[in-house]
Amino acid sequence: MKEGPDIAQIGALIGDPARANMLTALMGGKALTATELAAAGGITVQTASTHLAKLEAGNLLTQRKQGRHRYFTLADDSVGKFLESIMGFAAGRGYLRHKPGPKEPALRKARICYDHLAGDYGVRMLDSMIGRGAIDAIGDGLVLTKSGETALKDIGIDVHTLKSSRRPLCRSCLDWSERRAHLAGSLGKALLSNFLDKGWAHRTAGSRCVVFSPEGERQFLMLFPAIK
Amino acid sequence: MKEGPDIAQIGALIGDPARANMLTALMGGKALTATELAAAGGITVQTASTHLAKLEAGNLLTQRKQGRHRYFTLADDSVGKFLESIMGFAAGRGYLRHKPGPKEPALRKARICYDHLAGDYGVRMLDSMIGRGAIDAIGDGLVLTKSGETALKDIGIDVHTLKSSRRPLCRSCLDWSERRAHLAGSLGKALLSNFLDKGWAHRTAGSRCVVFSPEGERQFLMLFPAIK
DNA sequence: TTCATAGTTCGATCCTAACCGAAGCATCGT
DNA sequence: ACGATGCTTCGGTTAGGATCGAACTATGAA
């Protein structure tokens, strides 16, 4: 009767609203302290502490001590991945934590998905790269083409070093707001870093939103024209 | 602070052991009655009834009345998909519902993953098809080749009709026991149906196990030789 | 009609776990 | 050394929800 892995424990860990909010906050990819996470969860630090201990025991989080702070991050990108898959389902079925508020449009426009760009802009970027032949979409998979590689070199991304990492270069990730794929993998991460480094965009504190500067937005839209 | 979809509600639904067991049972793809699900969850029918109502309200299940029975199935293959993604994570982190029992080996060998073949045999089948060039693995994606299409025709699968469906033909699905990919999508489903129709294998009641007959096993192993 | 089976609803019990106040460590700055 | 800050542990309270017995509804069989 009892077969296979136990999903109940994981479900229970995610099932508490405070913990779910903390996990969602950590989907931003940034390491957060226990106090910050307590705020994100809407609870006191004591309560947060016990929650964090449970999440860590469940291998969903890891912590790193730094001075008198403890920085928590998702244990692994596999955690971010299956959380996003649940979010995708949740979004499709109208599981929303609130009525769409003022932050919502900004979040749908551009946000961080663990370590890469998501939202309208994330989807546009991938579509544009596919449209101009920088990336081939084959079945579920994404493959960087030769011409794509040289184009990336021009904007300052050395694909060669990325390839040496064990992590896949291109990976598609389902976007919960757009319900279409955006670009994940080490290349997705590199592109986001590139934009942030250039000052085209910056992250907002305590949120997954990514805000583009006027100039950055201009450059981005020019670099990734819409495909009709 | 509160952004994005609410994963807590879904987590809570999965987080109860009885509900998780019922959902896992439904991953077998077969429609089950409330009484059968109560047994799968290890609870009385009254309790099961309230659980099932909650799961249905949460859009994880649908029911179909037939006479005095109510048959429950997963609402959608998207449910099966994200459940499997959680299972994949759970299996990798040692979340097991029990010490490995007598059924465990059979389950690892061949089982149903919603509607296609998983386990050792599922992984072997995909590896073998890739090895002989019937399927190309490109990045994350899988693509059926011309030669693969004709080979499938020989065993009685008409790829053309499958292609007309909206569902993707080939899709890779992470196997929680083998931790490698097996073949999902409409082709994965068609292959499993094909084996069952030919009598090579049959499902076992109340379990996700797929049991091959001696002759069926011989044929299967011959058709999908191991790749070294 | 009458009985049996499948399932739901109600009511009451009971237990887990979330929660916070207070106190205790650990680390940093001065 | 001393206070301030970040975090954990302990203890006691409370609330939510899982559970089942019993009663009720619905469908099928005889």
Is pLDDT above 60 for B21? yes
Shortest CB distance from A83 goes to which of B7, B58, B88? Answer: B7
- The domain limits of chain B are 7-75, 80-223
All residues at 6 or more sequence positions from A85 whose CB lies less than 8 Å from its CB, including other chains: A174, B81, B82, B85
pLDDT band at A99 (very low <50, low <70, confident <90, very high): very low
- pLDDT of amino acid B99: 46
Bridge partners of A209, per DSSP, are A111
- Locate all alpha helices (DSSP H) within B61-138, ordered by sequence: 77-92, 103-109, 120-131
Bridge partners of B33, per DSSP, are B71
**CB within 8 Å: A2 and B142:** no
Lowest mean pLDDT among A101-110, A116-125, A208-217, B168-177: A101-110
**Selected residue with higher pLDDT from B201 and A139:** B201
Helix A7-15 to helix B7-15 angle (10° resolution) is 140
* Partner B, chain A 40-79, Cβ-Cβ below 8 Å: 40, 42, 58-59, 78-79
- pLDDT of amino acid A60: 96
Is pLDDT above 50 for B191? yes
Interval A178-201 mean pLDDT = 86
pLDDT band at B228 (very low <50, low <70, confident <90, very high): low
Q: Which nucleotide is nearest to A45 (CA to C1')?
A: D7
Please work out, in degrees rounded to the nearest 5, the angle formed at the alpha carbon of residue B64 by the alpha carbons of B61 and B67: 145
- Give A176-192 as a DSSP string: TTT-SEEEEHHHHHHHH
Interval B147-156 mean pLDDT = 91
CATH of domain A7-75: 1.10.10.10
Percentage of chain B surpassing pLDDT 70?
88
Three-state DSSP at A112 gives strand
Contact present, A210 and A112 (Cβ < 8 Å): yes
Q: Which of A223, A179, A170, A182 is nearest to A200 (CA)?
A: A223
Is pLDDT above 80 for A162? yes
Q: Which residue ranges have CB below 7 A from strand D?
A: A 33-36, 45-46, 48-50, 52-53, 63, 68-70; B 12, 16-18, 43-44, 46-47, 50-51, 54, 67-68
Contact present, B116 and B192 (Cβ < 8 Å): yes
pLDDT band at B53 (very low <50, low <70, confident <90, very high): very high
- pLDDT of amino acid A30: 81
The tokens describing A115, both together, are: 């370590």
Question: What are the chain A neighbours of B85 within 8 Å (beta carbons)?
Answer: 81-82, 85
Interval B19-42 mean pLDDT = 90
Interval B139-159 mean pLDDT = 86
Whether nucleic acid strand C comes within 7 Å of the CB of B164, the answer is no
Counting one residue from chain A and one from chain B, the pairs whose CB atoms sit within 8 A come to 215
pLDDT band at A108 (very low <50, low <70, confident <90, very high): confident
Interval B182-187 mean pLDDT = 86
Contact present, B160 and B146 (Cβ < 8 Å): no
Ranked by mean pLDDT, the top range of A97-101, A155-159, A211-215, B54-58 is B54-58
CA→C1' distance for B72 and C4 (Å): 23
- Locate all alpha helices (DSSP H) within B42-117, ordered by sequence: 45-57, 77-92, 103-109
Whether nucleic acid strand C comes within 7 Å of the CB of A102, the answer is no
Q: Is B83 on the interface with A (CB under 8 A)?
A: yes
Percentage of chain B surpassing pLDDT 90?
36
Three-state DSSP at B181 gives strand
| Residues written for chain A | 228
Q: How far is A35 from chain B (nearest CA, A)?
A: 14
- pLDDT of amino acid A100: 46
Is pLDDT above 80 for A12? yes
Contact present, B146 and B159 (Cβ < 8 Å): no
